[in-house]
Structure 1
């Protein structure tokens, strides 16, 4: 157990020292998306899923937001600069456009 604690402490130390602030913000948003999805899933299990399309829209939105953030993180990571064409601002514009389209679809799916 001590080895696992040592490994996790090393990972946290390296993450704090090496990861740029921009990627830390995106990671925080990704954790938020996972938390929202888990809360919605727990509510559906505990309270029921009477308006099932509302659960699907909310849960699907949380998953899609996570996927969009993962794409944004990959495209704005300085270590991946050679793999993706365009500046980080273009990746952010794509992220915003995808969110607008997603929420348009989700709001229509709700009813």
Structure 2
């Protein structure tokens, strides 16, 4: 029996992703390109791209590579999907930046609090 969780949907998605990565023999960059291409093809929302930002950063995935991907798949998926994806990717980066800033502020506050308690 599975253990109870406050985030069962996120836990399931994370487990599916880990299982997929463990069973896939693609290098990190190819896997990311494939996943992002699939997201573009299905007109995924920004939140779907958000899940791929940290892995892309860790794999040194560049903006130029993302642009090349969009150019490469545009004839197959069409202009509307590529433009929609560009907007969703921009939204995902905006959310990622806000989350990173909030995390940095929380860390700075915790450090300030610990210095004040010393």
TM-score normalised per structure 1: 0.34
- Structure with bigger helix share is 1
